[in-house]
Structures are given as structure tokens and as C-alpha cells.
A = this chain, B = another copy of it.
Amino acid sequence: MSGTGPIRVIPLGGLGEIGLNCLVLEYGQAAMLIDCGLMFPEHYMLGVDVVIPDVSYLRELGDRLLGIAITHGHEDHIGALPYVLRQVDVPVYAPPMAHGLVREKLKEHRLLDTARLEVFRPGEEFDLGPFHVDPIHMTHSIVDTVALAIGTPLGTVLHTGDFKLDQTPIDGRASDLPRLAEYGSRGVLLLLSDSTCAENGGHTPSERSVRGGLDLAFRETQGKVFFSTFSSHVHRIRQVIELSQAHGRKVAIVGRSFQNSIRIAGELGHLPLVPGLFVEPEDIADLPPERVTVLTSGSQGEAMSALTRISMDDHKVKMTQGDAVILSSRFIPGNERVIMGMVNHMVRRGARVYHHETAPVHVSGHASQEELKLMLRLTRPRYFVPVHGEYRHLVRHRALACEVGIDPDDTFVVENGNVFEVGPDGAAIVGEISAGRVLVDGKGIGDVADIVLRDRRHLAQDGVVLAILGISQKTGEIISGPDLIGRGLGGEEEIQGHFEQARGLVLEGLQALAAESRTDSHEVTEAVRKTLKRYFSKALERRPVILPFVMEM
């Protein structure tokens, strides 16, 4: 392990998408991983449950991979651990809240016994081979978030994790700017910084700025207040607990993810779990509605969430005239129509709904342009690589770096799978490893190939037709069928009419085949497929998946 080789940065995910954050840092024979996140499937990934990064490169690293450092406990930073730890057996270092959430997650996956979990707090430095890791406290939409200053023989690599520069956070603990400045003075070799909101001008408002909007909603409400956000957003939840106390409301927690998250945060001292403040969901009906706040998951309109079921009057907790619902999160792109469907149900129950498009009840946890520039000015890196974002975010963030005076030649738009090297004499993208997305579907891991997704899309758009035919092996005479079975095509009656006609055409088509072709099941199969394809395309303007099966008798 010599002191003269380069540092290698290899993103496995998160540089080209929102989510899936996972980045390899290498020096000599040693490697460490920063974060190990998932993402939720894109609209075209039919039947896929979650998406994780392809970590075959980690398996290649083998013993050279020394550990995984986690910056915070969001799913897009920890969610792939249960899948990845089955493939590589290394210790996981995480700040307390993330540690608690990872434990919970590994327990569910029955991996807790074999996993090696270490917890660290800001300032509690630790070593992974040649990497000296110094966690620096940052503000974000979950407590216990850190940046990682990673000392290497060539200099410091600073990875911001996700962050905003909140000067008035709820717990009073602002991002550790002095520490960042200290590293800046000493010299940062490479800055890797969060690009999620690189397109947003100005400064992201403080978490505290939401207080006024939430308080107004509480004051305007005669009935129950239903409150929903991401279950890990501890400071948001803390504000709602404090507001409930101030307005004389008891707090009921509905849903397992909220219960877990609040328990973990409470044990860590992040939430004021005042005795007598909390009530069981069963007790809500016995309290006057103006004395109740209901904390519940489902702000994204998830199909099976408590909130969706409550909105449809399909839950023991009832939503009634005069109640309010506060959806305290951004609508993730792709979810709007489902969320608005849920809102319509709530309005029908008689509730008033507050959400970020109509009321100031949410702010982002990510830095906007002025904060990103401040980070660049404070740390004055030799080289800069934007991380965490789609291609457009990375390019925009790079432009910001150039605006604050970093030489464009020292900034790099690196993408997943790129091998980016920083040596004593320069930096460059020098190669590529195999990276990508693994689509997890039920028990299978990584078995949903493009062809399978294409089949599913095809099935979903146009349905399927089976054609079953028995032919005599000797004469090619049709002994049975063609029988047609369809799914997802159209109305039963209409389709039966079409099948009637299609059957006739198939028979005609087979008559037209040469005698020797008629005994060749492959040729018969193709003839059936062609006839049916042509028929449905013409009669219905559809291209169902056609599956002919010829049985030789």
C-alpha cells in the first residue's frame, strides 16, 4: 500500500438519479463504501418492488472492502443494505438514528444476528484502513445527519451527504460550519456535494419556518388534526407534538413505521415523549375531536397506508366533518394523481386538506443554490464532483462551482460506473466498471431483465391471446382447436365474436400451408401467430402478446 497511487472514486448509484446513493472510495488495495441506498421503481418498471444498485463490483473487491459508512437514515442511503449485506460481509458504521433504523430493517430481513453494526456520533473519528473518517454534523430532514471528511494519504475527501444549511434548526444544532471551514483552511483535495436542489435559486428556508403554517392549520381546525410526513422526519414530528401540547391536543400514532421511528427517536432523546401526551388509536373516539392529533404515515398516498384507508372510511379511525389533514411533504413526482385522489376522498369526508401547494406546511431538506455556493466557498476544494442528482442536477451544480471561481477543468460530471481518479498531479475519469440498477421483484433479486419489463409492458397495454391447436403428427390434419383464450383484451362478448372470426382465419391460413409444412409444428406455430397478429391489429388496432401452442398427436 504505497503513498503515491491515486484515490479512486467509483459511484455505483445516485449520480444520474435521485436515490440509490452508493459510492466506492479506493486507495491502494483498500476500499470503503459511502451509503447504500435504494430507489422506488420508475413508472415503467411494472411489478418491481424496489430498485437497488448493482454491487457486483463490491463482490469483485472482496476482502479489500473494509466497511460501509452511512451519512444518515433515509431509505435512499440505507435501503439497499439488506440486499447488499447478503453479498458482502463488512461492518456498517452509522450515526445513531440511522443505526436504529438499520437495525429495524435488518431485523425484518432476519439479518440482525450476522450483521456487524457500529454507531458513531459527530466528531467520533474512526479508521478504515488508510481512510480516517471524521463525521461532521449537518442539518437535513432527518436527525443525526453527517458529512464525512475522509483523510487519505493524498489529502482530504469531503463528502457532504445530504444537507441544508439551516441556521435555526429545531434542536438548535446547526451544521458544523466552523469544522467545514477548518478543513477548507487546511485544504480539501476533493469535494463531493449534494446536487438534489441545484436547480433551486436562493436559500432553502429553515425547518423552523414551517411552524407558522402548521400553527395556522391547528388554529383553523375545530375537529381532529391528521398529520402526515415521512416517518423519519423527527424535527417535523417534534414540531407537531409541541403544537399539539400548545393547543391542548392528545397525540395518537397510527401505523407501524411511525411507531418505530418515534420510538427510536424518543430513545435517542430527539423527541419530548411527555407522559400522558400520547393516547392509543382506540381512545380517539372517546375524546372530543378538538383534543386530538393523529400522526400517521401515507403522505404519498401509498395504497395500503393508514391515511389512504382512513380517507376511504375503511379504518377504525374515522375522519369526519371539520377535521383537518396536513400533508407535510413534497409530492414525489409520479405520485400526484394518487395523492390528489386521496385528497378528494378526504374532502368528501368533510376534511380540509393542507398541502405544500396550497399552504406553507413543508420545506425541503436539501441545500439550494446559495447554500451550495457557500459550501464551495467554505471548503475551497482542489477538485469538485457533484453527487446525488439526475444528470441535469449534476450539470447545474458544476456550473455553480464555476460561478464561484473553481476552474472548470477541475470540476467533473462523473456518472454511475465511472472510475474517477485523483492523483498528486491531476484528476480524470479513467475508466468504467459494470454498474447499473437491479430491480427487485418479490423474492428474486436482480432477475427482472429489460426483456421481462418489455413483456410486462406489452401484456399491460394489449393483453394476451393463447391459441392451442392439436395436429396429427402424420397428416398435419387439425384434430383439435384452434382454441383461443384471452386476457386483458376487451369485453367478453365482443372478444368472443372476434375469436370466432379469428379461428376461421387460422383454419384458412393452415389450409393454405403446403402439406409438408402442416406437419411441422414450428411452421404451424408461426402461421398461427401471423394470422392472429394481423387479425387483431386490423380489427382492434391492438397487438396482444400471442402465444400459439401446437400439440402434435
Chain B CB within 8 A of A466 CB:
yes
Chain B CB within 8 A of A203 CB:
no
**Which of A84-92, A247-255, A262-270, A389-397 participates in binding chain B?**
A389-397
CB pair B488–A459 under 8 Å, yes or no, is yes
Bound: A462/B483 CA distance, A: 24
Chain B nearest CB, measured from A395 CB (Å) = 5
Chain B nearest CB, measured from A145 CB (Å) = 26
CB pair B540–A43 under 8 Å, yes or no, is no
Contacts A487-B545, A541-B442 given: A337-B333 contact, CB under 8 Å? Answer: yes
Chain B CB within 8 A of A347 CB:
yes
CB pair A392–B347 under 8 Å, yes or no, is yes
CB pair A395–B340 under 8 Å, yes or no, is no
Q: A447 — which chain B residues lie within 8 A by C-beta?
A: 490-491, 494
Chain B CB within 8 A of A187 CB:
no
CB pair B392–A491 under 8 Å, yes or no, is no
Chain B CB within 8 A of A549 CB:
yes
Bound: A43/B41 CA distance, A: 14
Q: A321 — which chain B residues lie within 8 A by C-beta?
A: none
Chain B nearest CB, measured from A459 CB (Å) = 4
Bound: A463/B455 CA distance, A: 8
Chain B CB within 8 A of A46 CB:
yes
CB pair A460–B466 under 8 Å, yes or no, is no
Chain B CB within 8 A of A106 CB:
no
The chain B residue sitting closest to A494, CB to CB, is B447
Contacts A337-B333, A348-B391, A392-B347 given: A455-B539 contact, CB under 8 Å? Answer: no
CB pair B442–A540 under 8 Å, yes or no, is yes
Chain B CB within 8 A of A29 CB:
no
The digit string for A227-258, where 1 denotes a CB below 8 A from any CB of B, is 00000000000000000000000000000000
The digit string for A455-472, where 1 denotes a CB below 8 A from any CB of B, is 111111111101010100
CB pair B470–A459 under 8 Å, yes or no, is no
Bound: A199/B43 CA distance, A: 28
Bound: A459/B491 CA distance, A: 16
Contacts A348-B391, A549-B483 given: A462-B47 contact, CB under 8 Å? Answer: yes
Bound: A485/B395 CA distance, A: 46
Chain B nearest CB, measured from A226 CB (Å) = 16
Contacts A344-B390, A444-B490, A487-B545 given: A459-B452 contact, CB under 8 Å? Answer: no
Chain B nearest CB, measured from A11 CB (Å) = 16
CB pair B460–A542 under 8 Å, yes or no, is no
CB pair B488–A444 under 8 Å, yes or no, is no
Bound: A503/B42 CA distance, A: 34
A-B pairs, 6 with minimum CB distance: A442-B541, A460-B460, A333-B336, A459-B459, A455-B488, A47-B461
Extra inter-chain contacts (10) besides given A333-B336, A466-B547, A466-B549, CB under 8 Å: A47-B460, A334-B337, A336-B336, A340-B392, A347-B395, A441-B490, A444-B540, A447-B490, A457-B460, A485-B547
7 contacts between A and B (CB under 8 A): A347-B395, A441-B540, A444-B494, A455-B487, A468-B468, A480-B551, A549-B549
